Amino acid sequence: MILAGDIGGTKTLLGLFDERPARPRPIAVREYTTLEFADLCAMVARFAAEEDGGTITVQSACFGVAGPVIGHEADLTNVPWHIDATTVGRMFNIPRVTLLNDLEALAYSVPVLHGDELHPLQPGEPLRGGNMALIAAGTGLGQALLHFVGGRFVPSASEAGHADWAARTDRDITLLRDLIARYGRAEVEHVVSGRGLLNIHRTTHREAVCPVVDGLDAAEAPAAITGAALERRCARCVETLEIFVDAYGAEAGNAALRGVSTGGLFVGGGIAPKILPALTDGRFMAAFRAKGPLQDLLANMPVQVILNPRAGLLGAAVFASA
């Protein structure tokens, strides 16, 4: 039996899996609000109580966490949690407990995803043995590479979401100035994430009050903004989503170039499936391919959106079963 977790800034999925060749089978999966718990051990204890009367018997566990993993420990970027894999293993008598960056965990799911769990944005021509790349916007922004080594894909983590954001247009430069004034610097996650949608919205609306988000908290506002944009109920929300999609496509292209991802680029995270019409109207792919002399390379890379909302959990289970 395997215990897997996908720990995000907003929600966490925990699941028990049967070990199966290539793709473990889920037995029980539960979703929790991350900040309702003091730490991961408290959440696992709740899961155990709900599933197994207070005890769980597993041989291996893996948790994808939204933050850098150093050795067996991690401090989450957007959640005030410190996680120690050794402590988790000792408390629940689990012989092997591993922490992965959440995008690294998600990357382990990519080779085992089925066709109906993916939506193509660009068919491309995948090269056998080529590397792949992954980008995922949700509460924050994550990226990972999948290097093809020795006949299999080996994911590697990154903290590329916190790298500097590059403005590409005059409209972007206005946003850049606002971000520098607010944060002291502009990083990619300040633009391509749920928080990024709010930052862009502030710039497009300036001092104007937007009835779409008036009275909403920061957790509810991004969905309201994208909903109004997709339904074209607010011209400035439409502009907000356009800037977001341009930036998302451009950064996806950057990720694909960094890994020379001739095997394909995958778009994960919670936002992409919810704004699929905005990703399929050509704007995202135009920004993805706009890389000067390397645009033909980008044009030949397959690009697909991950539709499975539990792909990160699945990837953690794949690693735990190895």
* Domain ranges for the chain: 2-108+310-321, 124-301
Q: How do strand 132-137 and strand 264-268 relate by DSSP bridges?
A: parallel
Is residue 4 within 8 Å of 317, Cβ to Cβ?
A: yes
Query: How many angstroms separate the CA atoms of 70 and 272, rounded?
Result: 29
Those residues of the chain that have pLDDT short of 70 are: 54-55
Q: Please check whether the domain covering 124-301 is classified as CATH 3.40.50.11900.
A: no
Matching residue, tokens 């990703």: 279
- CA 113/CA 134 separation, integer angstroms: 13
The whole-model pTM stands at: 0.94
146-178: b or e for each residue (b if 16 or more CB lie within 10 Å)?
bbbeeeebebebbbbbbeebebeeebbeebbeb
Q: Is the dihedral of CA 314, 315, 316, 321 positive or negative?
A: positive
pLDDT at residue 54 in the model: 65
**What CATH number was assigned to the domain covering residues 2-108+310-321?**
3.30.420.40
For 169-228, how does the pLDDT look when each residue is reduced to its tens digit (9 = 90+)?
999 999 999 999 999 999 999 999 999 999 999 999 998 899 999 999 998 999 999 999
How many Cβ atoms from other residues are within 10 Å of residue 295's Cβ? 13
